[in-house]
């Protein structure tokens, strides 16, 4: 499992770098939209057609910026996903599995001493195994 953690951490780092790049691009798009709007207002008196082109470009860039900002929450969730997966792996590997293995050892000891395993004990083990599997599912 230790080998699986490094690729997940690398993925998180790459996603963080990509997110930073997207934010920088969003800032540039915002600056271009403001610039186009400024030029549209400035040229309104002298060249109405050119001013209209700049106004349309400003609106288009503003729409692009809105889409980029909306995608930010999805990016944040994607960045958090490797961290959550690492936490789940560590929890299962370091906490839940040792306890489960201990319970299996107890049941095995009972079986070796000819003491029957109750349905409650078997059901508890089955429940704990399903719980372990559910923790590892995305």
**Residue range 41-71, pLDDT digits in tens:** 999 889 999 999 999 999 999 999 999 988 8
**Using alpha carbons only, what angle is made at residue 103 by residues 101 and 106, rounded to the nearest 5 degrees?**
110
Give residue 122's domain range.
Answer: 2-136
Closest CA to 14 of 66, 81, 71: 81
Query: Does the structure show a pLDDT above 70 at 138?
Result: no
- Determine the average pLDDT of the residues in 109-131: 83
- Determine the average pLDDT of the residues in 22-42: 95
- Determine the pLDDT at residue 103: 85
Q: How many domains does the chain have?
A: 1
Percentage with pLDDT > 90 across the chain: 35
């Amino acid at each position: 499992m230790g080998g699986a953690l490094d690729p997940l951490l690398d993925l998180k780092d790459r996603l963080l770098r990509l997110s930073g790049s997207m934010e920088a691009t969003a800032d540039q798009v915002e600056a271009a939209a403001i610039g186009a709007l400024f030029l549209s207002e400035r040229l309104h008196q002298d060249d109405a057609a050119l001013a209209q082109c700049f106004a349309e470009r400003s609106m288009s860039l503003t729409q692009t910026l809105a889409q980029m900002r909306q995608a930010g929450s999805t990016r944040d969730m994607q960045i958090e996903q490797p961290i959550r997966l690492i936490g789940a792996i560590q929890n299962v590997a370091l906490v839940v599995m040792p306890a489960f293995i201990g319970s299996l050892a107890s049941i095995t000891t009972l079986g070796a001493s000819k003491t029957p395993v109750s349905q409650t004990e078997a059901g508890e083990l089955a429940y704990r195994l399903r719980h372990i599997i559910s923790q590892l599912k995305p």
